[in-house]
Amino acid sequence: MLPSEHTNTVDFDTARLQRLGYAQKQLPTLQPVSLAQLRQQLSMQLQTSLDAERILTIFRAESQRLVTFDSLSYVQDSTDMSLQLGETASHSTSYHLSHDGEQLGCLTFTRQQRFKEEELAELESLIASLVFPLRNALLYRLAVQSSLRDPLTKTGNRLAMDQSLQREVELAKRNQLPLSVLMLDIDHFKQINDNFGHHTGDEVLKAVAATIKSQLRNVDMVFRYGGEEFLVLLSGTCSEAAAMVGERLRHAVVSMQMPMHCQQLGLSISLGCAALQLGENTSSLLGRVDSALYDAKRAGRNRLRMAG
Supply the pLDDT for residue 147. 87
Q: How far apart are CA 294 and CA 291, in angstroms?
A: 5
Span 140-162, mean pLDDT?
Answer: 91
Supply the pLDDT for residue 265. 87
pLDDT at 29 over 70: no
Is residue 87 part of the annotated active site? The answer reads no
List beta partners, residue 11. 98
Nearest to 63 by CA among 13, 129, 115, 12: 129
Strands 71-76 and 229-235: unpaired
- How confident is the model over 197-216, as pLDDT tens digits? 999 999 999 999 999 999 99
For the chain, give the percent of residues with pLDDT over 90: 76
User: What does the mean pLDDT of the chain come to?
Assistant: 88
pLDDT at 156 over 90: yes
Which among 62, 122, 168, 228 is annotated as catalytic?
Answer: 228
Helix axes 158-175, 282-298, angle to 10 degrees: 110
Supply the pLDDT for residue 236. 95
Where in the sequence of the chain do the CATH 3.30.450.40 domains occur? 7-147
Q: How far apart are CA 30 and CA 65, in angstroms?
A: 9
Where in the sequence of the chain do the CATH 3.30.70.270 domains occur? 158-306
Supply the pLDDT for residue 184. 98
- Assigned superfamily of 158-306: Reverse transcriptase/Diguanylate cyclase domain (3.30.70.270)
List beta partners, residue 233. 181, 221
**CATH second-level architecture of 7-147?**
2-Layer Sandwich (3.30)
Per-residue pLDDT band for 32 (boundaries 50, 70, 90) equals low
pLDDT at 262 over 80: no
pLDDT at 287 over 60: yes
pLDDT at 17 over 70: no
In sequence order, which residues have a C-beta less than 8 Å from that of residue 266 and are 6 or more positions away?
Answer: 254
